[in-house]
Chain A
Amino acid sequence: DTEVTQTPKHLVMGMTNKKSLKCEQHMGHRAMYWYKQKAKKPPELMFVYSYEKLSINESVPSRFSPECPNSSLLNLHLHALQPEDSALYLCASSHAGTGYEQYFGPGTRLTVT
């Protein structure tokens, strides 16, 4: 299995809701990432997990809470989001360390109403 999968594909949530995005890979990668991509913009890094530990947090607001329960799974818990958080959320994985190819999932299209 050489793909990163993400669920759900689409999500619409109100500003008071709590929801979670899920990401899974079975390539044995020990680094996993969350990116946010607004329309017509490049992906922006949010979080990096390395060996199931959070190694980079790009000053993301606390209404976004990542979790890496095991080496194959990555979650992004969402609470009290704002309309400006509407975007495509991409998950990626790679071997740990620098210089490795990152494999991207198809993304979850999030709309906050």
Chain B
Amino acid sequence: AQRVTQPEKLLSVFKGAPVELKCNYSYSGSPELFWYVQYSRQRLQLLLRHISRESIKGFTADLNKGETSFHLKKPFAQEEDSAMYYCALSGIQGAQKLVFGQGTRLTINP
């Protein structure tokens, strides 16, 4: 079964501090992992995906298959990073089933 765990419901850091949002997954095959973000009064949107290995808005995430993790990191948080972040997993070959974690609400304090 596919499962995504985000252990922190809420995370609060000060502006300029490093941020790490944790994500662990359970899947027996080769997973495809994503981070989606929802800013206040905006629709859910893709932040980044592991296959592209991009850095978006200063965020990066590395897939660690040994630890089954896909943590999201940013070295210096900005106030506009305040949002709801969802880690998501797609693993079934040929299907598009996306399973979301419970989400982490990130608040950046000035």
B-binding residues in A (CB < 8 A): 31, 33, 41-45, 48, 50, 55-56, 90, 94, 96-107
Whole-angstrom CA separation of A97 from B51 in the bound complex:
14
A96 and B43 in contact (CB under 8 A), knowing A41-B102, A42-B103? no
A56 and B46 in contact (CB under 8 A), knowing A42-B100, A98-B32, A99-B51? no
B35 CB, nearest partner CB in chain A, Å: 11
Q: Within 8 Å CB of A98, what residues of B?
A: 32, 90-96
Q: Pick the contact of B96 from A42, A90, A96, A103 — CB < 8 Å?
A: A96
A42 x B102 contact (CB < 8 A): yes
Whole-angstrom CA separation of A50 from B103 in the bound complex:
27
Q: Within 8 Å CB of A104, what residues of B?
A: 43-45
What is the chain A residue whose CB lies nearest that of B45?
Answer: A104
A-binding residues in B (CB < 8 A): 32, 34, 43-46, 49, 51, 86, 90-103
Whole-angstrom CA separation of A65 from B101 in the bound complex:
26
A102 x B46 contact (CB < 8 A): yes
Whole-angstrom CA separation of A45 from B93 in the bound complex:
17
Whole-angstrom CA separation of A106 from B41 in the bound complex:
9
B92 x A90 contact (CB < 8 A): no
Q: Pick the contact of B97 from A45, A96, A103 — CB < 8 Å?
A: A45
Q: Within 8 Å CB of B97, what residues of A?
A: 45, 48, 56
Q: Within 8 Å CB of B90, what residues of A?
A: 98-99
Q: What would 30 A/B residue contacts be, using CB atoms closer than 8 Å?
A: A33-B96, A33-B98, A41-B102, A42-B86, A42-B100, A42-B103, A43-B44, A45-B98, A45-B99, A48-B96, A48-B97, A50-B96, A55-B95, A56-B97, A90-B44, A97-B94, A97-B96, A98-B90, A98-B91, A98-B92, A98-B93, A98-B95, A99-B32, A99-B51, A99-B90, A101-B49, A103-B45, A105-B43, A106-B43, A107-B43
Q: Within 8 Å CB of A42, what residues of B?
A: 86, 100-103
B95 x A48 contact (CB < 8 A): yes
